[in-house]
Amino acid sequence: MTDLSYHPLVDTTWLAEHLADPALRVVDARWRGDGSGQQRYLAGHISGAVHLDWHADLAYTAGGIPDLLLPPGDFAAVMAAAGIGDHTRVVVYADTNYSGATRLWWALNYYGHDQVAVLDGGLTKWQAESRPLSAELPHCPPAAFTPHPQPRWLATAADVERALAGPDAGTCLVDSRPPEQYAGRAVWTPAGSLYLPPGQESVEVAGQPIRGGRIPGARHLHAERNLDPAHYWTYLDPEAIRRQALALGIRPENRIITYCGVGISASLALFALHLAGYPNLALYDASWAEWGTDPARPIERD
């Protein structure tokens, strides 16, 4: 039996050969800002897959910060309803450069469930290989999921503040957003980058002003740079990921904290660095939705 904690990325052939495994649950994590992820799933998905949307199913709002990871009890209830128990192996997929799959991979690891892998190339590669889809909704037998939070996977604003305390803090911040957001010209919204009006340093999103900019000193590794769009958005070779990270000053001996707009594409960057052998990784879940809306927190912009 494949230990998915050591093989967190599986290919389409592996998944096709294991679809009949009763201990395996496949999760369709496709998402779109217009809310059409569920409709895409209903129109056709990998046989036996359940659909989990990181925004609708796996997130909540607290203190005005949206899209935070569900608390343990709520997360456990969602997993149980999806047929994911303590001994279930999970393979999760999305499509193209969307990061819903890696968000669930991170969330499960945070809650102590390491038997989870991402499908390389996701549904994009699956369909390109003319593999079958199904519109049938699966039956999920009862499951019991026990969360065991692993704090090392999660970073908070306090962790980021300590990282900014000085060069000896031993932490490297990685911003995975698109270039225009990193530069401070735009901010994340579900519909994509929202550009700041000329001469303004902030813009209103969901009724709340949010500044353009980045956390001081953060290295820029746009999440999709870890993928190969010419080969169905599969992941780059781990050594290639490692080389580009090292060229940006992201070193494996540091604690790496990734962040983005709301902690989603940051999970893709974190997952890629995990593939590349980086051992000390954490995701700043609240990300720019917290940092960028607090005028007391320092920022940089181009």
- At 30-87, the pLDDT tens digits run 999 999 999 999 999 999 999 999 999 999 999 999 999 999 999 999 999 999 999 9
Answer for the pair 46, 125: CB distance below 8 angstroms, yes or no.
no
Answer for the pair 215, 175: CB distance below 8 angstroms, yes or no.
yes
Let me know whether 113 and 189 are in one domain.
no
In a domain, 34, yes or no: yes
Let me know whether 15 and 135 are in one domain.
yes
Count of domains observed in the chain: 2
Quote the domain boundaries for residue 287.
Answer: 153-291
Q: What whole-number distance in Å separates Cα of residue 72 and Cα of residue 111?
A: 8
Give pLDDT tens digits for 71-111. Answer: 999 999 999 999 999 999 999 999 999 999 999 999 999 99
Let me know whether 181 and 116 are in one domain.
no
Q: What's the confidence (pLDDT) of residue 1? A: 75
Q: Say which amino acid occupies 33.
A: G
If you average pLDDT over residues 261-273, what whole number do you get?
A: 98
* pLDDT over 80 (residue 187): yes
Domain boundary among 149, 181, 198: 149
In a domain, 301, yes or no: no
Answer for the pair 65, 290: CB distance below 8 angstroms, yes or no.
yes
In a domain, 297, yes or no: no
User: Residue 233: is it exposed, middle or buried by C-beta count within 10 angstroms (0-12/13-18/19+)?
Assistant: buried
Let me know whether 55 and 167 are in one domain.
no
Let me know whether 118 and 231 are in one domain.
no
121 φ, ψ (degrees, to nearest 5): 85, -15
pTM over 0.85: yes
Let me know whether 181 and 203 are in one domain.
yes
Let me know whether 171 and 244 are in one domain.
yes
Q: What whole-number distance in Å separates Cα of residue 295 and Cα of residue 297?
A: 6
Domain boundary among 116, 149, 182: 149
Domain boundary among 115, 149, 183: 149
In a domain, 47, yes or no: yes
| Residues in a beta bridge with 81 | none
Q: What whole-number distance in Å separates Cα of residue 238 and Cα of residue 299?
A: 31
In a domain, 274, yes or no: yes
User: What's the mean pLDDT when you consider all of the chain?
Assistant: 96
Residue closest to 220 by CA, chosen among 238, 247, 200, 252: 247
Give pLDDT tens digits for 109-141. Answer: 999 999 999 999 999 999 999 999 999 999 998
Q: What's the confidence (pLDDT) of residue 167? A: 63
Let me know whether 123 and 105 are in one domain.
yes
In a domain, 298, yes or no: no
